[in-house]
Chains A and B, each alone.
Chain A
Amino acid sequence: MKTKGLIDIAELTADELDDLMTVAEDIIANPADYAEACHGKKIATLFYEPSTRTRLSFESAMLELGGSVLGFSSASSASVSKGESVADTARTVECFADVIAMRHPKEGAPLVAQMHVNIPVINAGDGGHNHPTQTLADLLTIKRELGRLDNLVIGCCGDLKFGRTVHSLVTAMSRYPGVRFIFISPDELRVPEHVRTEVLDRNGIPYEETTSLEEAMSKLDVLYMTRVQKERFFNEADYLRLKDSYILTPDKLKTAKPEMRVLHPLPRVNEISVDVDEDPRAAYFRQVKNGKFMRMALILKVLGISVKGGNVK
């Protein structure tokens, strides 16, 4: 059996997701038990495009497990600027590290790396395609904030057409019973047809689509915000007309349930007003922290390290 990392969130079963969350919650409760778990192990963070937040999260995850880190943070600093293939770079790094976390602007690059090495490769974001560890952060946040992953009404707001984090969240949440989605976006940025047919319809997940955040607000258990980027619009006038409709403000939150939670993959620009940050429903900074714990749990899993005996599959 070839060693496997994580390329696409769809590779994980609901049981495996639950196991990862169990380990992450145990790490949160008993960090000292894990402080030496990866002693002598190295993670290579191969970042062909800068993403400081994600890279630091992987690196601090490994450091907190007692391991060490090496890597590069942009393509210009690496031999890749001399035109080396992803496969060759991965094979070289395999000689130095025990696990790779790869960020690449081209879709499928981490899969190419995984096909050529016998150490696990974790996709840390491949263009607009997949970003499975973000989804792990999202799931743990929902679980910790609301106490469950089933029977939830999840609102996804903003750019649902290009927003890969939304597509992955929909894929992952479609495994849990009683989940319903409300997609809130301008017509131009609706959830793509393939997500509706191949994920939602295939799994019989109920959903509705609306252009109004205010209308959906009171029904939601989770509000997953994403950024509406100017360059996604055909013309400036449409962008100006629509942009404020998808900005979350304390005013718009007034009708939300008290136990509702706001998530955002970050970085935000202006789609959540800073006045919302102090609201207890704003969970996006706690989400960042959860991301690190899930990356710790994932590193343990792909390295086959079990701290509490058994259970790591």
Chain B
Amino acid sequence: MIIGSLVDGIVIDHIPAGRGMELYKYLRLDELDCEVAIIKNAASSKLGKKDIIKIGAPMDLNFEILGFIDPRITVDIIEGGKRARKFHPALPETIIGILHCKNPRCITSVEQELPQVFRLTDKEHVVYRCMYCDNKAKN
């Protein structure tokens, strides 16, 4: 099991408690064949409680969404049982195909084949807005 010791893989840590499953979906981890563990409500000195995701194989993932969910989330790249790299995911200028616009007046609500594109409009407050209607994405 990878919960104890991970040899090669990825640890996504400091996820706000209860949001782990959501990230699992955003990152499309259901499509992976390797071991994936979601740990819910782990004790955290910073957050009180947190979620953790461990992925039991090295791979390239699109981490862009993580910073939008919470900039405190960290990613650890584990190689040979040791942490090779640790980083906070950067805020991407655009998020494509992950978030969905919830504005019922938005053109994407009637033409659902349109790509869902959100742009970073306020870095300081981590505000992303729908490219079509400027509706704010909720994180």
Which residues of A are in contact with B by a Cβ distance under 8 Å? Answer: 85-87, 104-109, 111-112, 126-129, 194, 197-198
Contact = CB atoms under 8 A, between A and B. Distances in A.
B88 interface: no
B35 to A, nearest CB: 41
23 contacts: A85-B113, A86-B107, A86-B111, A87-B111, A106-B105, A106-B109, A106-B110, A107-B105, A107-B132, A107-B133, A107-B134, A107-B135, A108-B106, A108-B108, A108-B131, A111-B132, A112-B107, A127-B105, A127-B133, A128-B105, A129-B134, A194-B127, A198-B127
Contacts of B122: 197-198
Contacts of A111: 107, 131-132
Contacts, number: 50
B136 A108 contact: no
A105 B110 CA distance: 11
State the 10 A-B residue pairs at the shortest beta-carbon distance, nearest first.
A108-B132, A107-B133, A108-B107, A106-B107, A109-B107, A108-B133, A127-B105, A107-B105, A107-B106, A85-B111
B61 to A, nearest CB: 28
Given A107-B105, A107-B133, A111-B132, 8 more contacts: A85-B111, A86-B111, A108-B132, A109-B107, A111-B107, A112-B107, A129-B134, A197-B122
Given A106-B110, A198-B122, A112 B132 contact: yes
B133 A129 contact: yes
A107 B101 CA distance: 11
B96 to A, nearest CB: 13
Interface in B98-139: 103, 105-111, 113-114, 121-122, 125, 127, 130-136
A46 to B, nearest CB: 14
A109 B106 CA distance: 8
Contacts of B133: 107-108, 127, 129
A107 B107 contact: yes
A11 to B, nearest CB: 13
A85 B113 CA distance: 10
Main secondary structure of the interface of B (DSSP, over half): loop
A108 B130 contact: yes
A109 B103 CA distance: 13
A183 to B, nearest CB: 20
A129 B131 CA distance: 12
B133 to A, nearest CB: 4
A194 B107 contact: no
A105 B105 CA distance: 8
Given A107-B133, A129-B134, A112 B103 contact: no
B74 to A, nearest CB: 28
Contacts of B131: 108, 111
Interface core residue of B109, B127, B133, B136 (most chain A CB under 10 Å): B133
Contact of B114 (A105, A112, A194, A197): A112
A111 B108 CA distance: 11
Nearest to B108: A108
A39 to B, nearest CB: 34
A194 B132 CA distance: 16
Contacts of A128: 105
A124 to B, nearest CB: 15
Contacts of B114: 112
Nearest to B106: A107
Nearest to B129: A194
Contacts of B130: 108
A244 to B, nearest CB: 30
Interface core residue of A107, A112, A128, A129 (most chain B CB under 10 Å): A107
A112 B103 CA distance: 16
Contacts of B109: 106
